[in-house]
Amino acid sequence: MRQFRKDFLWGGATAANQFEGAWNVDGKGASTSDMCTGGSHTVPKRITRSIEEGTFYPSHEAIDFYHHYKEDIALFAEMGFKVFRLSIAWTRIFPTGMETEPNEEGLAFYDRVFDECKKYGIEPLVTISHYEMPFALTEKYNGWVGRECIDHYVRYCEAIFKRYQGKVKYWLTFNEINAGAMPLGNFLSLGILNEGTTDFVHQVDIPELRFQGLHHQFVASAKAVKLAHEKYPEYKMGCMIAYMTTYPLTCNPDDVMKAQQANQISNWLCSDVHVRGAYPSFAERYFEDNNIRIKMEDRDLEILKEGCVDFYTFSYYMTTCVTANEDADNIGGNLIGGVKNPYLKASDWGWQIDPKGLRYTLNEIYGRYEIPLMVVENGLGASDEISEDGSINDDYRINYLREHIEEMKEAVKDGVDLMGYTPWGCIDLVSASTGEMKKRYGFIYVDKYDDGTGDLSRRKKKSFDWYKKVIASNGEEL
Ligand code: BGP
């Protein structure tokens, strides 16, 4: 029976804007994520237009990985990480996105980080753009709506591909690119600031602009992949999709049809462009029905064909259900809503937990593309308590991860080629959706709180030793 590969990439995942802090030092420019206030369970995250307008705890300082990277990477190495997923902040390299020469201090920071990884034999997995872009590009072009962003992004890729040759091998062009196919993606992944937009979750939405921005991201991604393939043949280029399997709530064919359509638009559309290098056939009708007219240049469709990815990565937190019955409750969710699945429990943040759905999802994706897959985000956001003796007994997190790893194993037995697994927020960091610190995912606790207090000290949770054992046994001891 098949098992996890011998060289299975066990590790953890992070993103620059959620953990680096040092948001304006060493020449860094403001990114879209720097223009978001922190939030909490009761106060939602907001988008501001000027830094003076808001309070930014904890997002601007985050967990200050910028100054703690040695300590943090040493802890990852102690757990036995083979891979560490992180993103480069575009604004450290090109502060406004429009400079012609990169910022040396920004480049040097990631040199230090990659050298530290190398010291422990940890392979970096780099997301080139993770939910942020230079805010100056938002002001000038309304984010990715402007075609100019393609060239700015490619210039940024050229700079980092060249600089980190020999240090980085695995690259992901855009984090959860399919967020742009959903209203929440407006500012989060496309940097679009439509008039009246300040509410991070319920933004003013103009679908035509979103899909225009997404098209520009597709072209930019394909150009980056092509560039890497031509100039740096050792590079492995991947896509990253927020994969949310949508089930029909019942076997009523109307529900089944609705689920298929939801999966097509939210999961497959972006995946197909990345992997097959072409828009899928169902896109045309969707665009027509929704009055979406995308402006393309003559060579765009050829460019998409020339930049197909080598491997497929995705985040997996939950599944959702849909129904044609309009009276059903809407439960909200991560990036898209849906109705409650009566067979599943939910996290304290309402994300429905579905380990078996991961096996199903892996089979779905592999069946369609047959290229190597990697789960680059998965995990349980929870509010951890420190016991009197100083320990943090996060058995709930261990159970969540164990059940998901068990299902990954089943998928491997089903024949899926799975390269690796990087649970999200391997060290506590700021939540992307709510902007709070209270929603923790880590194996490592960080003393940092939503009111900006905390001494930033690091402390191992119970899951730290558990995950170390999992890695050492290549997933046998769970
Ligand atoms: C994904 C994002 C991450 C991350 C994660 C958890 O959608 O790629 O950046 O934050 O979700 O979400 P949250 O932080 O909202 O709990």
445-454 tens-digit pLDDT: 999 999 889 9
- Taking the CA of residue 439 as reference, the ligand 1 atom at the shortest distance is 16
Does the annotation mark 20 as catalytic? no
Out of 377, 388, 403, 436, the active site residue is 377
The pLDDT of 340-344, averaged and rounded, is 92
Q: Which CATH class is domain 9-472?
A: alpha beta
HEC sequence for the chain: CCCCCCCCEEEEECCHHHHCCCCCCCCCCCEHHHHECCCCCCCCCEECCCHHHCCCCCCCCCCCHHHHHHHHHHHHHHHCCCEEEEECCHHHHCCCCCCCCCCHHHHHHHHHHHHHHHHCCCEEEEECCCCCCEHHHHHHHCHHHCCHHHHHHHHHHHHHHHHCCCCCCEEECCCCHHHHHCCCHHHHCCCCCCCCCCECCCCCCCHHHHHHHHHHHHHHHHHHHHHHHHHCCCCEEEEEEECCCEEECCCCHHHHHHHHHHHHHHHHHHHHHHHHCCCCCHHHHHHHHCCCCCCCCCCHHHHHHHCCCCEEEEECCCCEEECCCCCCCCCCCCCCCCECCCCCCECCCCCECCHHHHHHHHHHHHHHHCCCEEEEECCCCECCCCCCCCCCCCHHHHHHHHHHHHHHHHHHHCCCCEEEECCECCECCCCCCCCCCCCECCCEEECCCCCCCCCCCEEECHHHHHHHHHHHCCCCCC
Which residue has the CA at smallest separation from atom 16 of ligand 1?
A: 431
How many Å lie between the centroid of ligand 1 and the Cα of residue 377? 8
Which residue has the CA at smallest separation from atom 9 of ligand 1?
A: 432
- Euclidean distance between the first and the last CA atom of the chain, given in angstroms as a whole number: 18
Q: What is the per-residue pLDDT for 330?
A: 61
How many Å lie between the centroid of ligand 1 and the Cα of residue 175? 10
How many Å lie between the centroid of ligand 1 and the Cα of residue 120? 27
Which residue has the CA at smallest separation from atom 4 of ligand 1?
A: 432
Phi, psi of 346 (to 5 degrees): -125, 160
The pLDDT of 18-35, averaged and rounded, is 97
Q: What is the per-residue pLDDT for 53?
A: 78
226 pLDDT above the threshold of 90: yes
The CA distances from residue 385 to 96, 255, 262, 268, 382, in Å, are: 40, 41, 38, 39, 10
Look at 121-125, 275-279, 349-353, 403-407 and tell me which has the smallest mean pLDDT: 349-353
Q: Is residue 226 within 8 Å of 274, Cβ to Cβ?
A: no
The pLDDT of 51-60, averaged and rounded, is 82
Average pLDDT along the chain: 95
Q: Is residue 348 within 8 Å of 397, Cβ to Cβ?
A: no
Confidence of residue 334 (pLDDT cuts 50, 70, 90): very low
Look at 54-58, 146-150, 393-397 and tell me which has the smallest mean pLDDT: 54-58
The pLDDT of 281-304, averaged and rounded, is 98
Choosing from 127, 313, 377 the residue with most ligand 1 atoms within 8 A of its CB, the one to mutate for a pocket test is: 377
The percentage of residues in the chain with a pLDDT greater than 70, rounded to a whole number, is 98
The CA distances from residue 223 to 226, 257, 296, 412, 447, in Å, are: 5, 35, 15, 32, 41
464-475 tens-digit pLDDT: 999 999 999 999
The pLDDT of 17-45, averaged and rounded, is 91
- Taking the CA of residue 175 as reference, the ligand 1 atom at the shortest distance is 8
Q: Is residue 354 within 8 Å of 319, Cβ to Cβ?
A: yes
Out of 20, 61, 132, 176, the active site residue is 176
The pLDDT of 124-151, averaged and rounded, is 98
333 pLDDT above the threshold of 60: no
296 pLDDT above the threshold of 90: yes
Residue 239 to residue 178: CA distance in whole angstroms: 10
Q: Is 150 exposed, middle or buried (0-12, 13-18, 19+ CB in 10 A)?
A: buried
144-200 tens-digit pLDDT: 999 999 999 999 999 999 999 999 999 999 999 999 999 999 999 999 999 988 998
Name residues contacting ligand 1 (CB within 6 A): 15, 18, 131, 175-176, 242, 315, 377, 381, 424, 431-434, 439
Q: What is the per-residue pLDDT for 57?
A: 80
**Parallel, antiparallel or unpaired: strands 123-127 and 236-242:** unpaired
Q: What is the per-residue pLDDT for 55?
A: 79
Which residue has the CA at smallest separation from atom 3 of ligand 1?
A: 432
74-114 tens-digit pLDDT: 999 999 999 999 999 999 999 999 999 999 999 999 999 99
Q: What is the per-residue pLDDT for 24?
A: 96
How many Å lie between the centroid of ligand 1 and the Cα of residue 46? 16
CA 239 from chain centre, in angstroms, equals 10
Q: What is the per-residue pLDDT for 369?
A: 98
Amino acid code (one letter) for 27: G
Give this prediction's pTM: 0.97
Residue 176 to residue 132: CA distance in whole angstroms: 12
Nearest to 174 by CA among 212, 232, 117, 214: 214
Q: What is the per-residue pLDDT for 331?
A: 56
Does the annotation mark 158 as catalytic? no
How many Å lie between the centroid of ligand 1 and the Cα of residue 433? 6
Which residue has the CA at smallest separation from atom 10 of ligand 1?
A: 432
Q: What is the per-residue pLDDT for 268?
A: 98
Most distant CA pair in the chain, distance = 66
Which residue has the CA at smallest separation from atom 11 of ligand 1?
A: 432
234 pLDDT above the threshold of 90: yes
- Taking the CA of residue 131 as reference, the ligand 1 atom at the shortest distance is 9
How many Å lie between the centroid of ligand 1 and the Cα of residue 210? 20
Nearest to 160 by CA among 114, 199, 200: 114
ipTM summary value:
0.98
332 pLDDT above the threshold of 60: no
- Taking the CA of residue 351 as reference, the ligand 1 atom at the shortest distance is 16
